[in-house]
A and B are shown apart, each in its own frame.
Chain A
Amino acid sequence: DIVLTQTPLSSPVILGQPASISCRSSESLLHGNGDTYLSWLHQRPGQPPRLLIYKISNRFSGVPDRFSGSGAETDFTLKINRVEPEDVGVYYCMQATQFPRTFGQGTKVEIK
């Protein structure tokens, strides 16, 4: 199984400041069709996760442009340009290149 390792696991941030989360994969996530199926999800307390970013860097519908994704092969990053109060919660990376689908452990973002 592909293992996704996120760092940091906890990120106290100041409102209006940037934040960054790393996701490292145990194997390349480059699919044979040329796509890389790495997504980012955000989960607020008591709510289901919601999709932020898919295929490394594509913002899902309605996601603010302060969120951006980058990376390739085994190393990926989610950046929040300027953290806002509604950005608190847990962020997960997820791969859909291989079965079984796997998730990172999650990174908790909270306001300092």
Chain B
Amino acid sequence: QVQLVQSGTEVKKPGASVKIYCNSSAHTLSDHYMHWVRQAPGQGLEWMGIINPSGDNVNYSQPFQGRVAMSRDTSTSTVYLELSGLRSEDTAVYYCVRAGDQYFDLWGQGTPVTVSS
């Protein structure tokens, strides 16, 4: 069964950056748009942005513009999320999500990020 595998737990200090990766266990992601969604503790889902299959076009949610960067390495079928200027409010679980026809059909297991001094 296809799975999205994400990098592990991160603990960062305020002002630092974090870079999370996501790849597939057994299937190429190169044909798919990929999204990132985060979920703060006890809260709902927040969409962060999308990257196209070739990695040359991104669309970020306005609250994250200026401090988020999504990229992908098509040779390894890996997608990346980098978030800079971390603050305590960025403490959350970050999910990579594969997109089907405008629906989110496969989710990574999530990467917990804690921002604390």
Contacts and interface: CB of A to CB of B under 8 A. Distances in A.
A55 interface: yes
Given A99-B59, A101-B35, A48 B108 contact: yes
Interface string A36-57: 0101010000001111001100
Interface residues of A, number: 23
Nearest to A106: B44
Say which size band chain B's interface belongs to: 20 to 34
A4 B32 CA distance: 26
Given A35-B102, A96-B102, A102 B107 contact: no
B70 to A, nearest CB: 14
Contact of B103 (A37, A48, A104, A105): A37
Contacts of B46: 103
Interface string B92-117: 00010000111111111110000000
Interface of A: 35, 37, 39, 41, 48-51, 54-55, 60, 92, 94, 96-97, 99-106
